[in-house]
Structure 1
Amino acid sequence: MHRAGRESGSEGAPGRSKRAVRSWILYDFANSIYPAVITATVFQIYYVGTIVGSADGVGELWWGRAVAASALIVALTSPLLGAIADRSGARKRFFAAYVAMCLAGVGLMTTLEPGMIVAAFLVFVIANVGFESANVFYNAYLPDIVSPERLGRTSGYGYGLGYLGSALGLLIVLPFAKAGQLEIVWLIVIVFFALFSVPAFRHLPADGSSGLGVRQAALAGIADFRRITAEVWGDRNLRRFLFAFFFYIDGVLTIIVMAAVIATGTFGFDQQGVIILFLIVQLSALAGAYAMAKPTDTLGPKKVLTGVLCLWVVAGIAAYFVQSPDVFYGLAVAAGFGLGSVQSASRALMASLIPKGREAELFGFYALCGRSSSVLGPLLFGWVTYVAGGNQRPGFLVLTALFLIGLVLLQRVRDPFVSAAG
């Protein structure tokens, strides 16, 4: 139904310059250092092991709360802010403001010391809300800058370059992290992120003004929120996709934010080992994102997602039984291959379901599903681990169940790429 609302554009359409596309892809490279260093490895280990510094699981509990709190804030605010951005023509201003918020949060990390549990909690929430909210507005540019038949390829290239940026960022910070010079690590994240974001702010297309100021747009956005919710619920295909996305992306995001905890708690990795493992996964994800970019366009994102989710279900079951760190490396490579493609194919499928002019508000709902699910995942994993007496392996099966539920629900979604080809 939404497919009819989007016309096949050309590269010469407004906003669809090659420079805009390159700048959009480069932002994926720019922001990738944040989740690699802050969410998944160095800051996660520092917060759990040093700032909290408890051996009885309190660190994991606080970390799960921090991730869940930031996810909940983004989930509750992104649809409304998306509607405001669409009505006021302020998408780029929101985008820039949230990037600045993220970088400010990372800057505040330089003030943290062991024992500052609540302060570090708040600093991470500030940074993470800024990062995730900026992604809502960044994602909304995709259908504006490329034609529908190139959505999957461009999305995949962005994720692929992002994984390359993650690997490069980790290599840069690794010697400073090993030396305990964490203030330098946080500053590197800020400089890397800010420097490579500049082209996006310069070359992504400006938004047309509707004549409304931000305040008027906010009032209209509030009035629109119930209407948007009803419209999303009334679009059966979009509703089915978002339900499926809610479950499988919950598993993906929980693994990302708990990766260091799992590697250290179950397989005995130290900080250097976690970073090396993450580098291997990033390179595998880079290969997967690029390898599956073209198939996403030719086969359709639904088929790509189906294959990748099957891979993750098998990997999750195997992880429950694996004892050897070497075998775990192999599973991580296999899972990493699917990581880039599952995210890029999801973004491409969502973009294909959105009518023209509704990108920011409906990508806000996309973020709502993703972020609200990531409130559940870390808390659920932590609770199951706690009930199991600190054994994380039952948590692997919980995550596998999330992938399986998402896979089953996805089969009910009509792929508009296939429908258009037919």
Structure 2
Amino acid sequence: MASTADHRPAADASSPAPLDKRLITSWSLWSWGNATVSAVMVTFVFGTYIASEAFGPDERGTQYLTTANAIAGLIVAVTAPIIGQRADRAGKRRLWLIINTAIIVALVAACFFVRPEEGFLLLGVTLMASMTLFDEFANLNYNAMIVDITDHSRMGRVSGIGWGAGYLGGIVLLMLVYLGLITGDPPHVFGIGEDDAMNIRVVALVAAAWFLLWALPLLLTRQKTADQDTVPAERISVVESYRRLFGTLIGLWKEDRNTFWFLLASAVYRDGLSAVFTYGAILGTTLYGINPADVIIFGIAGNLVAALGAFIGGWLDDRIGPRKVIAGCLIGLLGSSLALLMLTEERVIGAAADPLLTITPTAAFWVLGLFLCLFVGPAQASSRGFLGRLAPPEKAGELFGLYATAGRSVSFLTPALISLMLLFLDSNMAIVVAIIVTLLFGLGLLVLVRNPTEPAKMRDWSQKS
């Protein structure tokens, strides 16, 4: 049986072997194309379309979509580690990436058939939630591949490059569909009108083709992955897979508290990071006076800044360690959020009669909101790099599955805090306060974590006598 060292760069070699730049480029291009799901379909275009009044009164579209996404999130939380574990065991991590990518492309393209009528609402939310579900499964295997393309000493920069590519891909695609299909008077640049929401539905076809085009270089590569060196010793049932999963969790608690605490801490602060993008547009328009028409412009600027942050953070990660990068980003996010909290009303610096500077809420949001985006990118990229350093190559899929499940298991945290804060605050300031509390809690848990120095001890304690 071949050793994983045959194709994975050595972690402690005094002069590390050159990285396969072609493979890293292909891996990053998949992320560039995958921005289709988050930037275009979920956040700025198709999710907004489903939530519109075209699909029924009383915000019915939003209600159906959030319910469907909650169901998809529950499925991910329950199944992600098992899917990763079984992909590792079968040595088919890349095969499942191919399958899940193909399913996502098909689901995105099928959104073209969602016409702006109430009768199509169920089809729309089913396609959107299914897309989110399979995107989680695809990213599980995609993230696990980081152990195949770089060594520990350069994992930060590679993760940063991949994450930054995703942000940049989102910008380019968002500008393409915005300028070509959404803004201006119909027919738009591509000659497509707005009757029957045809211009929005065509966005789905463009987005599907975009993802397929940029995913192909990685999907067609012949590079072997670490799990392919693991010959399955046995075929096990799904029930046995869950038994071994719980055994692994017990093993982490007993033998590897660092990995255990990182999974928990990252789950908490990543919920806060997600909230920055999830609620950013709501905050900008309702609390800080951003024109709704400018939200997509802010989204483009925010993604550009987040990409820059991911690139810089990846470079720092390899020099000072991922824990310091993550902690620094969380502190920066907390500082920016606190400043935003104090600038919901116009502030004057200097004498009232002769002010040196007048800061409006809108200007504050443009500056501090972009600072938030700057810190989100490297925090996400370094978290993946942190876990990549912990992941045993033959069990990377299972560990990244646990990472996904941990995140889903606390994804209620910020929304629940917002609901609680609204009992005491009569405005969307509750969102800012909830994000601050979540990030502060995550930073506190990160104190229990130290930089990874060895692979996670993923021994199955359920097999011990």
Task: Tell me the TM-score normalised to structure 1 length.
Answer: 0.88
Q: Which residue number corresponds to residue 337 of structure 1? A: 374
Question: Alignment partner for residue 177 of structure 1, among 175, 178, 182?
Answer: 182
Q: Which residue number corresponds to residue 301 of structure 1? A: 322
Q: Which residue number corresponds to residue 91 of structure 2? A: 89
Contact 2:259-2:390 at 8 Å conserved across structures: yes
Q: Which residue number corresponds to residue 100 of structure 1? A: 102
SS of 1:413's partner is coil
Output one character per residue of 1:373-414: Cα deviation in whole Å (capped at 9) or x when no partner.
Answer: 334434554x34765797322122111100000011101111
Bigger RCO of structures 1 and 2 (CA < 8 A, at least 6 apart): 1
TM-superposed deviation, 1:242: 1.3
Whether 1:408 aligns to 2:444 is: yes
Structure 1: which amino acid aligns with 2:32? F
TM-superposed deviation, 1:265: 3.8
Whether 1:230 aligns to 2:232 is: no
Matches within 5 A, 1:1-400: 7-8=11-12, 17-52=20-55, 54=57, 60-112=62-114, 113-115=116-118, 116-175=120-179, 176-178=181-183, 180=194, 181-203=199-221, 204-206=223-225, 207-208=227-228, 210=230, 212=232, 216=236, 218=238, 221-234=241-254, 235-267=256-288, 269=290, 272-323=293-344, 324-378=361-415, 380-381=417-418, 383-384=419-420, 387=423, 391-400=427-436
Structure 2: which amino acid aligns with 1:286? A
Root-mean-square deviation over aligned CA pairs: 2.8
Structure 2: which amino acid aligns with 1:22? T
TM-superposed deviation, 1:119: 2.9
Contact 2:50-2:62 at 8 Å conserved across structures: no
Contact 2:325-2:378 at 8 Å conserved across structures: yes
Q: Distance in 2 between matches of 1:98 and 1:379?
A: 31
SS of 2:448's partner is coil
TM-superposed deviation, 1:157: 0.8
Q: Which residue number corresponds to residue 459 of structure 2? A: none
- Mean Cα displacement is larger for which, 217-226 or 229-238? 217-226
Q: Which residue number corresponds to residue 358 of structure 2? A: none
TM-superposed deviation, 1:281: 0.3
Q: Distance in 1 between matches of 2:67 and 2:291?
A: 23
Structure 2: which amino acid aligns with 1:94? W
Decide which structure has the larger Cα Rg and report it.
2
Contact 2:11-2:153 at 8 Å conserved across structures: no
Aligned residues: 410
% identical equivalent positions: 28
Contact 1:24-1:158 at 8 Å conserved across structures: yes
Q: Distance in 1 between matches of 2:16 and 2:98?
A: 25
Q: Distance in 2 between matches of 1:255 and 1:59?
A: 22
SS of 1:205's partner is coil
Q: Distance in 1 between matches of 2:156 and 2:298?
A: 28
SS of 2:169's partner is helix
TM-superposed deviation, 1:362: 0.5
Contact 2:421-2:434 at 8 Å conserved across structures: no
Contact 2:90-2:232 at 8 Å conserved across structures: yes
TM-superposed deviation, 1:160: 1.3
Q: Which residue number corresponds to residue 462 of structure 2? A: none
Richer in helix (by share): 1
Question: Residues 96 and 174 of structure 1: is their aligned pair in 2 closer, same or farther, counting only changes over 3 Å?
Answer: same
Q: Which residue number corresponds to residue 353 of structure 2? A: none
Contact 2:157-2:318 at 8 Å conserved across structures: yes
Structure 1: which amino acid aligns with 2:307? L
Structure 2: which amino acid aligns with 1:393? M
Contact 2:279-2:431 at 8 Å conserved across structures: no
Contact 2:305-2:373 at 8 Å conserved across structures: yes
Q: Which residue number corresponds to residue 3 of structure 1? A: none
